[in-house]
Structure 1
Amino acid sequence: MTRLAPCRSRYSPPLDAPAVDALRVMSDPRTPVFLTVHADGRRRYSYWQPFDPDTGRGSCYVALPTAACDALHHAARISLGEPVVDPARTTYRVRPVRTPAAPVPSVRPVRTVSQRVRVA
């Protein structure tokens, strides 16, 4: 079984157009993307494109650019799920890595002192 570990780096270079398009597809929760690693080592990132009656296109698997997806994996922008192994290939679910949001400083509420009216 092949282990695919991304290289963690603090600096990530700007993405080129194919990588941006691939990351956009991977970020859509309605479009599951998979990496298939064949027994001979060939790698293919792909997703299922449903049929679109407006354009008459779809109902097929669409391959994403392997070099761009490998660059995203190397830059730790995408992660691979648990492998599903069969004799001819290993398949991984591909997901974009969610970077944690910057911590928001806590704001203490301002307490207002209500004034009492004294009755004499």
Structure 2
Amino acid sequence: MLNARMPTAASVLTAVAAVAAGALLLGCSAHVEVGTSAPKLSADKVAETVAQKLAATTGQPKPHVTCPGDLVGKVGTTMRCTLTGSDGRTLAVTVDVTSVSGNNVNFDIKADDKSSPAPN
């Protein structure tokens, strides 16, 4: 009988925190429709891209990530997203726009070194 333990969001948080201690910095890119103003990526698209990249880097399932708003496709724009573990602990993730090329907004993500405890 094979007994496999499925990783939880808490283990993803632990894995991300461990990798973050080694200066986790990932480059990401997302496609956006460009209008007359600076392109924007929806908060959901940024969160999904961040979750996919973190999962791929840690070898864990995609974590739950939320972002506070749309990401403006302008070099130097920074946003803080939040990864939440199943135990309620959170880990902040910084998203930094590094370049915009046509309809692609390229950004780096970096997870904080330490997580915050779950709210009481």
Tell me whether the two structures share a fold, i.e. TM-score over 0.5.
Answer: no
> Shorter-chain-normalised TM-score: which range?
under 0.3
TM-score using structure 1 length? 0.24
Q: Tell which has more relative contact order, 1 or 2 (C-alpha 8 A, sep 6+).
A: 2
Q: Which structure features the higher share of strand residues?
A: 2
TM-score using structure 2 length? 0.24
